[in-house]
Homo-oligomer: A and B are copies of this chain.
Amino acid sequence: MIIVLKSNVSDEQILNFSNLLTEKYDIKVNTWRGTHSTVLGLLGDTHLIDSEALQAKEIVESVKRVQEPYKKANRAFHPQNTVITVGNSKIGDGKLSLIAGPCSVESKEQITGIAKAVKESGAGFLRGGAFKPRTSPYAFQGLRGEGIELLLEAKKETGLPIVTEIMSIAHLDLFEDVDVIQVGARNMQNFELLKELGKTNKPILLKRGLANTVEETLMSAEYIMSQGNDRVILCERGVRTFETYTRNTLDISAIPIFKKLSHLPVVVDPSHSGGIAWLVEPLCLAAVAAGADGLIVEVHNDPAHALCDGAQSITPKMFDTLAKKLSAVKNNI
């Protein structure tokens, strides 16, 4: 970490400030004093240092991190890829993992039917929304506890591990048999939720927030990991921009960047990124080509009658065709 001090600081101020830093943190401070400005170089483990707090000090002009502010999620400290295993399914092992299923769980027939179909096409996980974050309080909020029951029934029939979203710590008991707990984009910085999930032993699929940077996403992963749960799956699902044709703008660059900065597996959600069914295929192909470990795709047997987000769902038949194309690309990069 490099700290540029203001031009008019005295030797005494610099000394006091350096002492304050070395007392509080396990670091060494090197001072380089120029004619116009003074620069402090902090050596050692700086990830515990609150750079915003330093920035506020009266004598500080600016602060520049050299190390990343996350550690457990950082590839520098964990060069090996993290592989997450759930039952017979894996994410991060070099093969392409497919997580598929409807936006909302609607009925036993629906979820079991889709589960069987996507398993047949090669999906390793079943997704389905039981608790649904909706912009309007008047929109369908999901079957909630009942939805989780139906997912578990579909799991029993197909053996597919299930992935479903949690919206509140208060519902944690209901997730006891859920295989992978999803944190939605709107809750990516719900830090109290992240800390609680860090105390569980479940893999957490963490979606990047609509306006969150790659670094902030890794800091949210660090929240979970700092509590002892190392099994985090990062999910790129598009960020909010000025473009209105798509619901969000898929940040394809985030895939190789996450892979470089972190050892955690990365999946991509093409359905929510684009919000348009015919975009799912090209976005999936692009994500795989860019190095994604997996995809989480909305599949519905009857998109036009889906209770939510039907506009972006594809049919089981389209998913089957897609899975074949994805294998071809995966095998050729």
Residues of B with C-beta under 8 A to A52: 139, 308-309, 311
Residues of B with C-beta under 8 A to A190: 167-168, 186-187, 190
The number of residues on chain A lying at the interface, defined by a beta carbon within 8 Å of a beta carbon of chain B, is 107
CB distance from A243 to the nearest CB of B (A): 5
Residues of B with C-beta under 8 A to A199: none
Residues 149-162 of A, flagged 1 when their CB comes within 8 A of B and 0 if not, give: 00000000000000
Residues of B with C-beta under 8 A to A242: 211, 213, 239-242
Which of A39-47, A90-98, A122-130 sits within the interface?
Answer: A39-47
- Using A286-B286, A308-B53 as known contacts, say yes or no to A329 and B325 having CB atoms under 8 A apart: no
CB-based nearest B residue for A167? B192
**Would you call B135 and A216 a contact (CB within 8 A)?**
yes
Residues of B with C-beta under 8 A to A309: 52, 56
In this assembly, does A234 line the interface, its C-beta being within 8 Å of a C-beta of chain B? Answer: no
Stoichiometry, copies per complex: 4
Residues of B with C-beta under 8 A to A279: 253, 256-257
In this assembly, does A206 line the interface, its C-beta being within 8 Å of a C-beta of chain B? Answer: no
Interface centre among A69, A278, A286 (most CB of B within 10 A): A286
**Would you call A249 and B245 a contact (CB within 8 A)?**
no
Interface centre among A140, A278, A285 (most CB of B within 10 A): A285
- 28 A-B pairs (CB sep. < 8 Å): A2-B39, A32-B32, A32-B39, A34-B41, A50-B136, A50-B138, A50-B308, A55-B311, A56-B311, A57-B310, A62-B64, A131-B192, A135-B216, A141-B191, A168-B169, A211-B242, A215-B245, A239-B249, A241-B242, A242-B242, A249-B253, A250-B251, A252-B252, A256-B282, A285-B333, A289-B289, A328-B333, A329-B332
